[in-house]
Amino acid sequence: MNQPVIFASIVLLSFFASDLNAQEDVFIREYLERLENSRKYLLLVAESMPEDKYGFKATPESMSFAENLMHIGWAMDWHSQSLMGGRKARDWNTDTELKVDAKSKKDMILKIDDTFDKTIEFISNFDVNKLGERLDYFESDRTKRQVLLLLADHITHHRGQMLVYLRLNGLKPPRYVLYQ
Would 20 be classed as within a structural domain? no
Would 10 be classed as within a structural domain? no
Contact 63, 167 (CB under 8 A): no
Would 16 be classed as within a structural domain? no
Would 17 be classed as within a structural domain? no
Would 145 be classed as within a structural domain? yes
pLDDT digits (tens, 9 = 90+) for 119-146: 999 999 999 999 999 999 988 999 999 9
> 136: which strand partners?
141
Would 11 be classed as within a structural domain? no
pLDDT of residue 14: 56
Contact 49, 165 (CB under 8 A): yes
Percent of the chain with pLDDT over 90: 79
Contact 120, 35 (CB under 8 A): yes
Where in the sequence is the domain holding 160, given as residue range(s)?
A: 25-168
The pLDDT of 137-164, averaged and rounded, is 96
- What letter does residue 79 receive in the DSSP assignment? I
Would 9 be classed as within a structural domain? no
CATH of the domain at 163: 1.20.120.450
CA-based nearest residue to 71, from 32, 112, 36: 112
Q: How many domains does the chain have?
A: 1
More confident residue, 16 or 89: 89
* Residue 17 predicted with pLDDT over 60: no
pLDDT digits (tens, 9 = 90+) for 42-95: 999 999 999 999 999 999 999 999 999 999 999 999 999 999 999 999 988 888
pLDDT of residue 20: 46
Mean pLDDT of the chain, nearest integer: 90
pLDDT of residue 87: 92
pLDDT digits (tens, 9 = 90+) for 97-119: 999 999 999 999 999 999 999 99
Would 176 be classed as within a structural domain? no
- What letter does residue 136 receive in the DSSP assignment? E
